[in-house]
Structure 1
Amino acid sequence: MTASVFKIIILIFLLGLTAGCRTPEAFRRDVDAAALQRVTQTRSQILEKESKFSIEKPGDTLRRRLLQQLSLPVAGPASLGTGHLLEIPHWPEPGFPAAIQTPDTHREKQASPLTLSLFQSLEIGAQNSFEFQTRKEAVFQAGLALYLEQDFFRNKVIGQVQQLFSADLSTDPDRKGTRSSMEMTSERRFESGPVLTASLAADLASLLFSGGNSSLGLLGDASLSIPLLRGSGRHIVTEPLRQAEQNLVYAILEFEQFKQTFAVAVGRQYLNLLQQMDTVDNARDDYTRRQALTLRSRRLGDAGRLKEIEVDQSVQTQLVARQRWLSAQEAFKKQMDSFKMLLGLPPDAEIRLDMAPLRQMEKMDDLHRDPEVPGPLELSEQTAISLGLARRRDLQVAQGKVFDAQRAVVVAADALGAELTFLGSASLGERRTITTADLDNARLRTDKGVFSALLTLDLPFERTAEAVTYRNRFIQLEQAVREVQKLEDTLKIEIRSRLRELFEARQTLFIQAQAVALAEKRVKSISLFMEAGRAETRDLLEAQDALLAAQNNLTAARVNYRIAELEIQRDMGVLMVTDTGLWQEYSPKGSF
């Protein structure tokens, strides 16, 4: 009967143990789901809209396709991504991480060179950029940390099974036997401070000789610990959980801020590249014009109609123009390599850009014919600063950390007090070993139980370390407040600076548009005068220099104004950027 009862108990225990034995993949999937749920819920609350979040990258990224389809050199499998690594011995999850196939805007076979628009570059950067992925993982890790803190207050169950053979030679006669035992322990921490622990142990002690006696041991044990002074109260006990919740909020806000910064960085480099491409085109056209002028000067010189010194001037300026063209090309290549690194693409992949944004910016000249009419984003200083103070994510993080520092003061003050703890325990039944295998089976009887209650008072005579921590918390609070003030002043300086840059860029755009028109008129006029023999070669060369400079300055003014528009939206925190990297610009009239 004893063995049968124990077998039933051990069978139930083993069934529970089997149900609890899970694969690493199952653990990972559960943790992923828990973290993503917390991230998604918190993001929806912060952004006030439903949003999806994932740290899984497409297995078929543009970076990998460029490397493989163009046969670019790589250092090894890691160059193609985690899904292409060779599994090492004892790998816990065969096939993971795999080359996950998720929607990719640019999945078709890539032509070489690949032409990218501005919006395609934004999307590609969100999918391939190393830093973008790292920032997303930081949000996910904050979700994991929150899940771990929440786990601190869940029911926890620990199970253990033992099979022991022992021999006691100190008795007469000797005792040799076995003990099969199992123990289940459950613990629950409450957010108000108490800790409840309960355990149930079952033993079956059997002698191998001396009649083969056996006895069943049962022991139920429970304890309750309640802090009454120091360390008590929901606001103290749950402070690590509260901080983990705040850290997740901060990670999300910082990611949203980063998306704006990253999108503007991509836009700035893309537009600067277009400007440099235009500089290359202008340098090429200038070189072509100077080639034609040199040929004409040579013919006139051979005919005795032009001084040799003027012919030499044409040749010299042609050489300078060629060098300028070559230097512009090299500068473009260098900027392009930097742009590809920003997007997370191989630097040796050949890429072309779409000139459409530059052509669209040429239409801005019509919008700024009157230098006194401000652009749509040239808001009043007070309005722009008010928007920034209300919407900047990094300022929201800094303000949240002030509240964190205040809570840290409260927790540190609590640690200075006396500690009063109530501990109650109850124990029913008895364990069994081979030395007690002759006893009757144990029973869980309350009239035979052992009960105790303990009240412990730890007087606050020695709290030096806690006092130092308490004082430091006030210093940290002051530092957090100063950080908000510093960031607020920086924000105001940035916005004021951007407004001045917008104004200056608009004025420059108006001036340079006029300068190009005058330079073109000057070149045309001097060319006609030269045909009539009323101008020298040097006059035309100077006019061509002025035209080239005016053309480059006009393109720079267009690009600078457009970049300033993007940067002021970023600095005011009103540039909306999706998880795919695309932006939605702010309109003062219709908001977004």
Structure 2
Amino acid sequence: MPVMDGKYWGEIKNGALFAAVLLLSSCTKIGDYAEDRADRAAYGNIAGAQSKAMGAAEPFSIGGADDALVQRLMATERKLETAEVLSLADTLAIAMANSRSYQTRKETLYIEALNLSETQKDFNWNYSASADVSTEYTTLEDGTAETFGDNGIDTTIKAGVTRTLATGAKVSLGFTQNVFSYFTNPDSSDANNALSLNIVQPLLNGFGPLVTKEPLRQAERDMVYAVREFKRYQQDFVIDIASLYYSTLQARDQLINQRNSFESAVLNRKQTESYAKAGRIADFQAAEAMQSELNAADRWSLAQSNYDSAIDDFRYALGLPIELNVVPDTNELARLEMKGLIEVEVDFEEALVSALSNRLDLINLREQVQDKQRKVEIRRRNFLPNLDVSYSVTKNLDTRDNSTVHDDVAQNLGVGLELPLDWTEKRNAYRIAQISLDREVRALSEEEDDIRRTVRDLWRKLERNRSVYKNRLLSVELSTRRVENTQLLLKQGKALTRDLLEAEDDLLSSKNEATAALVDYTINRLRFWNAIERFEIDPKGMWYEQSDPEKAVAAPQR
């Protein structure tokens, strides 16, 4: 017996293990199926909203980064011996494919689309099914149990389908069957075996598509709003990444300049000390040179810290490991200087009209005013009495005679009237809807003024950046001449090394300021196009500035 028990126990464990594996496999397949169906619903809703909002669907996915460069970088050892140099185009593509914040915004839009699918379900045919197994018994005085009902067991299945129509009618079709009685005692009669149809149609309050389809209508419009908001976010995101890219390069230039300044300060201090020992200059000038060297060392240290922080921020924004040795391409600044000031070929009035007409966030606000107006009308109709007409038909199936089926059909037609004697909640809801409409109108007006202010401010910034850049270029030219003249005077003994170093510092400062003005102009130019809704991007982050569609300025290609 012990051996037999062990054998049986082993068979039980093997059977349980097989059942667990089978169950887990089934759950995995169901999960994969559910994921696929959810993706189809969400991506379909997003594509539909994109077509309504912008005239065409655009590629969208919340899947993992499929960019080849991202995959290669993430698979690389984090500490590269040679730094990976990223062009501006590569940086934009990596950011679009790998940024954590960008991924979060994509997932937010995806969830919005999933929520819409739940609302859509309420206005489609909804199917349901259930099964109940129960038994009823009581314990007698002698301790025995007495069961009730046919064979002591009641097994019932129910199936149904419901739908809300555009007129406000609610239609439901249901079927109930006592399965256990049907197979074990077919001669018995069971009133639970029935097929039923129910229709309830409101005639006053709740009648018509304006009221009935409002939840679906609003959910679909919210989806369109979310798509427009995401589009604006994409455009701002690309500009922010470009700004971060150039600011990182500026931090590197400042580091190089401060290092050169320190090296020059060291040479100046040594030369000044030798002149002081020879009695050619006073000792206090040597002390000044030493102080200048110390200050230059501090500035170099600060520039190094700023650049290190800028590199960390750069990698963090791209979603890359902080210690991964990737840096922006220094040639991008040279390319920017070669292009110079790209003129904004649009006048101010045209820009303002474009902003007020085409801004996606402004279009959202205008349509949201329409939403509030519709809500006021719906709340007004809510004061109507509830007058509903209903019709139901139930077909009871009698299976006592196997050769003949007798049908009992019960029909009911009714009219219900409910007068709204207590209007407190409806009155308050109506008044709140009116106030919400007023607020939305004010918000629209405020946003229009804010857009006007933004466009005017960016227009002034571009003018100022343009002026500063031209002045800095002139300053570079003058500083260059000063350096050349000071070098000649130094050879003639009519100037000190300190004079030459000051001239070189001014030259470097002028170059830095010219580069900063050019970068500021470039970023403000992009923000200006975005402010008037003439800034287009592709899935890789390439941008197009639409002063004229035939003269669009494109970002660098990969």
Fold shared, TM-score > 0.5 on shorter chain? yes
2:9 paired with 1:42: no
Q: 1:153 deviation in Å?
A: 1.8
Q: Quick one: which amino acid aligns to residue 102 of structure 2?
A: F
Work out the CA distance in 1 between the residues paired with 2:514 and 2:139: 102
1:586 positional shift: 2.5
Look up the SS of the partner of 2:550 in the other structure: coil
Q: Which residue pairs with 1:89 in the alignment?
A: none
Among 25, 33, 38, the alignment partner of 1:26 is 33
Post-superposition shift, 1:468?
0.4
Over 3 Å counting, the alpha-carbon distance change for 1:189 and 1:484 in structure 2 is same
Give the letter for the 1:157 counterpart.
Answer: Y
Distance 1:561 1:445 in 2: 87
Deviations 1:233-274 (A, max 9, x none): 011100010011111101110110001100110111111112
Q: Is the 8 A contact 1:393 1:573 kept in 2?
A: yes
Aligned to 2:99: 129
Residue 525 of structure 1 aligns with which residue? 485
Q: Tell me the CA shift for residue 512 of structure 1.
A: 0.8
Q: Distance in 2 between matches of 1:173 and 1:535?
A: 119
Shift of 1:162: 4.0
Question: Are the structure 2 counterparts of residues 207 and 479 from structure 1 closer, same or farther at C-alpha, using a change threshold of 3 Å?
Answer: closer
Equivalent residue for 1:335? 310
Q: Matched residue of 1:159: which SS?
A: strand
Aligned residue identity for 1:197: S
Show the counterpart of 2:9. Answer: none
Indicate which of 552, 556, 561 corresponds to 2:516.
556
Quick check: 1:216–1:441 contact (8 Å CA) kept in 2? no
TM-superposition CA deviations, 1:271-304 (whole Å, max 9, x none):
1112222222222222233333333334444444
> Shift in Å at residue 163 of structure 1?
4.5
Aligned pair in 2 of structure 1 residues 513, 246: CA closer, same or farther (>3 Å)? same
- Aligned partner (choices 470, 481, 500) of residue 430 of structure 2: 470
* Residue in 2 that maps onto 1:422: 389
Structure 1 residue 52 displacement after superposition: 2.1
CA RMSD of aligned residues (A): 3.1
Give the structure 2 partner of residue 287 of structure 1: 262
1:188 aligns with 2:163: yes
Q: Match for 1:159: what amino acid?
A: A
Aligned equivalent of 1:96: none
Deviation at 1:118, TM superposition (A): 0.9
1:65, distance to aligned residue in structure 2 (A):
6.5
C-alpha distance in 2 between matches for 1:545 and 1:207? 100
Q: Provide the rounded CA distance (Å) in 2 between the counterparts of 1:444 and 1:206.
A: 16
Residue 408 (1) aligns with residue 408 (2): no
Partners of 1:423 and 1:453 within 8 A in 2: yes
**2:58 is equivalent to residue 51 of structure 1:** yes
Task: Measure the CA separation in 2 of the matches of 1:56 and 1:553.
Answer: 43
Measure, in 1, the Cα distance between the counterparts of 2:352 and 2:504. 44
- Answer whether contact 1:113 1:352 (CA < 8 A) is retained: yes
- Measure, in 2, the Cα distance between the counterparts of 1:168 and 1:323: 92
Q: What residue is the counterpart of 1:148 in the other structure? A: 118
* Amino acid across the alignment from 2:321: P
Q: Map 1:55-134; keep pairs closer than 5 Å.
A: 55-58=62-65, 69-70=76-77, 112-134=82-104
Other-structure match for 2:362: 395
1:187 Cα offset (Å):
1.5
Would the alpha carbon gap of residues 192 and 290 (structure 1) be closer, same or farther in structure 2, given more than 3 Å must change? same
Please tell me whether the aligned partners of residues 168 and 175 of structure 1 are also in contact (alpha carbons under 8 angstroms): no
Cα distance change, pair 202–444 in 1 and its aligned pair in 2 (3 A): farther
Alignment correspondent of 1:5: none
SS of match in other structure, 1:232: coil
1:297 aligned residue (249, 266, 272): 272
Q: What amino acid sits opposite 1:321 in the alignment?
A: A
- Could you tell me whether the CA contact under 8 Å between 1:167 and 1:176 is conserved in 2? no
2:34 alignment partner AA: F
Per-residue Cα deviation, 1:155-175 (whole angstroms, up to 9, x for no partner): 2222233445556999x9987
Residues 582 and 381 (structure 1), Cα distance of their counterparts in 2 relative to 1, 3 Å cut: same
Match of 2:25 in 1: none
Which residue does 2:527 correspond to in 1?
567
Matched, 1:273 2:261: no
Aligned to 2:197: 222
Structure 2 counterpart of 1:588: 548
The residue aligned with 2:344 is 377
- 1:532-581, CA deviations, whole angstroms, 9 ceiling, x for partnerless residues? 23234554454344223222211211111111111111211211112332
- How many pairs are equivalent? 516
Q: Report matched runs for 1:400-549 at 5 Å.
A: 400-429=367-396, 440=401, 448-536=408-496, 539-549=499-509
Deviations 1:52-106 (A, max 9, x none): 221112379977875664358xxxxxxxxxxxxxxxxxxxxxxxxxxxxxxxxxx
Change in 2 beyond 3 A, CA 1:207/1:313: closer
Mean CA deviation greater in 113-122 or 247-256: 113-122
Is the partner of 1:313 in helix, strand or coil?
helix
Aligned to 2:11: none
CA shift in 2, pair 1:69/1:483, >3 Å: same
| Aligned-partner Cα distance in 2 for 1:231–1:406 | 17
Q: Which residue of 1 aligns with 2:283?
A: 308
Aligned partner of residue 204 in structure 2, secondary structure = coil
Q: Distance in 2 between matches of 1:206 and 1:520?
A: 104
Partners of 2:112 and 2:183 lie apart in 1 by 56
Give the one of 195, 198, 201 matched to 2:173: 198
- Provide, for residues 311-356 of structure 1, a one-character-per-residue CA deviation record: whole Å limited to 9, x for no partner: 3333332232222222112111112222222222222323211022
Structure 1 residue runs of 5 or longer lacking an equivalent are 1-21, 73-109, 368-374, 433-438
Taking a change above 3 Å as real, the CA distance of residues 311 and 65 of structure 1, as seen in their structure-2 partners, is same
Change (3 A) 1:208 1:534: closer
Q: Distance in 1 between matches of 2:183 and 2:385?
A: 55
| Secondary structure of the structure 1 residue equivalent to 2:238 | helix
- Partner of 2:24 in structure 1? none
Letter in 1 for 2:412: S
Matched, 1:161 2:122: no
Unaligned stretches of 5+ residues in structure 2: 1-28, 141-145, 553-558
The structural deviation recorded for 1:475 is: 0.8
CA distance in 2: counterparts of 1:60 and 1:560, whole angstroms: 30
Cα displacement string for residues 459-497 of structure 1 (whole angstroms, at most 9, x for unaligned residues): 121121011011011111111111111111111111111
